[in-house]
Amino acid sequence: MSQSQPILKISCPHCGQKLDVTGLQPFSRINCPVCQGQVIIPRRFDQLFLEEPVGSGGMARVYRALDVNLDREVAVKILNENITKQPDRVKLFLNEARSAAAVNDPHVVPIYSCGEFEDQPYLVMQYMGGLSLDRQIQKEGGFVSIEFCLKSVASVARGLGAAYRHGIIHHDVKPGNILVDVDGNVKIGDFGLAQIVRDENAPAIEELLRHWASPYYVSPEKARVGKEDHRGDIYSLGATLYHAVTGRPPWTGGSAKEIIFARLKGEPPVPPHQLRPEVSTAVSDYVLRMLSENVADRPQTYEQIYEALEEYRESLLKGGQPRKAEGPKRVFRVATAGAPGEPGAGAGAGVSDAPPSTEELGPVLQDRINQFVNMCITICVALMVIVAIAVVRIRPGWYVTRVEPRLRSSLGLPPAAAKPVPVGAGRVLRVETRRLPAPGGTGVEESPPVRSPSGGGGALPPAVSIDFQSATDFTVQPTKRPCPEDLDFARAKSRLQAYINAVPAARREIEKQRLGSLSQVRTYLIRLMKYLPFNESAAVVKLRDGRTLSGTVPYCNENEVMVRGKTGTASLQKLAWGDLAFEQYARFFEFYIRTRLEQGASASAGIASAKHRKEAADDCFRLALLCDWYGYAKAAQHYSQLARRYDPTFGAKLDQMIPAFEPDKPL
């Protein structure tokens, strides 16, 4: 290790174990040797530890980070290196700090500080642990709760109103800039394009903003002349609300120019209630009003927007139909004893606009409060019981290392049995491993400790390895299927689509299903290695160039595979997925197939054993499909037969997905 390289030591967030991660790739993921919990390698940046990238754009990258001085979780926005050479972009970036720092409002993402480190300007702001509104829309498939949409946009209207009171216009209101924190509070962020109207730099910033816009949400006046006032932000907020309640922007097109050109025709968008019937006509009309071409026809203040959306939301929660107009504010009306001849007597006698008295509301409110408190207590107790059961069942690292020993000692029970595993130079730590996740599950279920296949145990089916080296027919058949060397089917999307289009219509749907299964193969392997590293006793990692490495794979991620050599040192060698031979992918699968079968053989119940064999059959099916796609026909045949052997119900699926399979041909 270089003497100039700083030592980096961190604590496992799950069990508190101190870990020396000096020299490891920042943002890579490893498994803690004590509790097997996943640990992300941070990157030191000024007084911050960058822990994980959470977003990026053409101008900057955003990281979740730890502020070492204040010991709090923050978000750090770092200007991209290519942008630092452009003074106008740097000016916009620093303008965000000045703009947002001027606003102190609970509906605006606060800026804590800014600075420059290694010639890279950066901002430090509150970390918003929830999803942005655009990601929420994607997650819900375009059907976000209408109540949530109204609540979110109403909160943003409050934040924009606070900014405007400081003379600030945002200029880039869109779903991607509406964020949710860990407590569910909605805030407007990314004031990078904001303009301080009374600032001495306003003319220069306005000139920069002429060519900056989000075509789906930009106001028509800005699209035409490059200028807008706060009512341009109101228009963008209306376009955002339209997208949130309908799942699509008000206008669509193939390019930014096409979208803006279609909008400048002056035709209104399709009313939201026609795209989503559960949107009331009142809400639909109000959204279209915010999208009015004429700025005078839009709501003129953010307070009007907030009050209207809150009224619509309350009506929605009560199950009523919102009024179309904003109208006067609601009043309480209670009976009074109006005398004849007095104001209010006559046809309207007995009705007053005065709010009910405390004496009248007291018993009702107290009863409601008691009901609410009792419900909260019941829910809290139930949650505590569920959490306690889950902790004992899952046995996370902190429970195993801190709580369980004390609990067993207080009850007079012997310590829990654990398997010593050597780590590093002669050090022995007690670790426990998890049951492998089911092929389609989450993998959080625990079972008795997993024994690696080399450890012996229950009777297993015949070995599932195949000698790829000596096979003469392990060449890719001339099917012209795109076969990514690194199993990254996403990057070969265009080639794969062209191939699917060329497949005969009779076979196209099946080929799409095969491709859908294969597109997740690498992600599936990464998930398996998260729960049990590839650690065969005689593990050899085979490379595409013909070389072999003797060692294990303790962890991997989407970008790289780490190989630990078996030379008595803790040295790690980083490989790209594309560096591995195809046979090595099969070796990974074989290892986990055998592990599942061992777990099934050691299970005390027949049902558990059958479950493990079914999961092993599913893995064999995945591997057979992978071999067939890449042209390894004999290997595909072999794993197909194993899938049938472990679970005969896979027969029909195999016949459909791998039609060349010959069930009577011996292995």
How many Å apart are CA 59 and CA 346, to the nearest integer? 69
Mean pLDDT check: name the lowest of 151-160, 597-606, 657-666. 657-666
Mind listing the pLDDT tens digit for each residue in 492-512?
888 888 888 888 888 888 888
Cβ atoms 240, 153 nearer than 8 A: yes
Query: pLDDT > 90: what percent of the chain?
Result: 18
pLDDT of 231 higher than 90: yes
Q: What is the pLDDT of residue 298?
A: 94
Res 339: pLDDT: 34
Domain 133-318 has CATH 3.40.50.300: no
Judge contact between 189 and 179, C-beta under 8 A.
yes
For residues 319-343, average pLDDT: 42
Which tops the pLDDT comparison, 474 or 352?
474
**pLDDT (0 to 100) of residue 152:** 94
The Cα–Cα gap between 258 and 254 comes to: 6
Provide the 10 A C-beta neighbour count for residue 366. 10
Question: Angle at CA 320, nearest 5°, toward 314 and 326?
Answer: 60
What is the token pair recorded at 304?
Answer: 């009007």
Distance, in Å, from the CA atom of 450 to the CA atom of 432, rounded to the nearest integer, reads 8
Give start-end residues of each CATH 3.30.200.20 domain in the chain.
42-126
Which entry of 172, 233, 619, 647 is annotated as an active-site residue? 172
CA distances in angstroms from 465 to 427, 580, 586, 642, 667, listed in the order given: 33, 17, 8, 11, 11
Domain with CATH 1.10.510.10 in the chain: 133-318
Residue 467 has pLDDT above 50, yes or no: no
By the 8 A CB rule, do 17 and 24 touch?
no
Find the largest Cα–Cα distance for the chain.
110
| pTM listed for this prediction | 0.47
pLDDT tens sequence across 397-414: 566 666 666 666 666 555
In this structure, of 16-25, 54-63, 250-259, the range with the lowest mean pLDDT score is 250-259
pLDDT surpasses 50 at 580: yes
In sign, the C-alpha dihedral spanning 244, 246, 252, 254 is positive
pLDDT digit string (tens) for 88-144? Answer: 777 767 776 777 777 888 999 988 888 888 888 888 988 888 888 998 898 888 888
Give 42-126's CATH code, choosing from 3.30.70.260, 3.30.450.20, 3.30.200.20, 1.10.10.60.
3.30.200.20
Q: Which amino acid is at 171?
A: H
Dihedral pair phi/psi, residue 322, rounded to 5°: -60, 150
Task: Compute the Cα dihedral for 68, 70, 76, 81 and give only its sign.
Answer: negative
Of residues 307 and 442, the one with the higher pLDDT is: 307
Mean of pLDDT values over 4-33? 82
**Structure tokens, 84:** 């630092």
Rounded average pLDDT over 274-299: 93
Q: What is the reported pLDDT for 469?
A: 32
Query: For the CA atoms of the chain, what is the radius of gyration?
Result: 31
pLDDT of residue 86: 78
Q: Going by DSSP bridges, is the β-strand pair 60-67/48-56 parallel, antiparallel, or unpaired? A: antiparallel
172 is catalytic: yes
Number of other residues whose CB lies within 10 A of the CB of residue 293: 15
Query: Is the pLDDT at 247 greater than 80, yes or no?
Result: yes
Per-residue pLDDT for 358 more than 90? no
What whole-number distance in Å separates Cα of residue 361 and Cα of residue 262?
A: 55
- Tell me how far apart the alpha carbons of residues 415 and 405 are, in angstroms, rounded to a whole number: 6
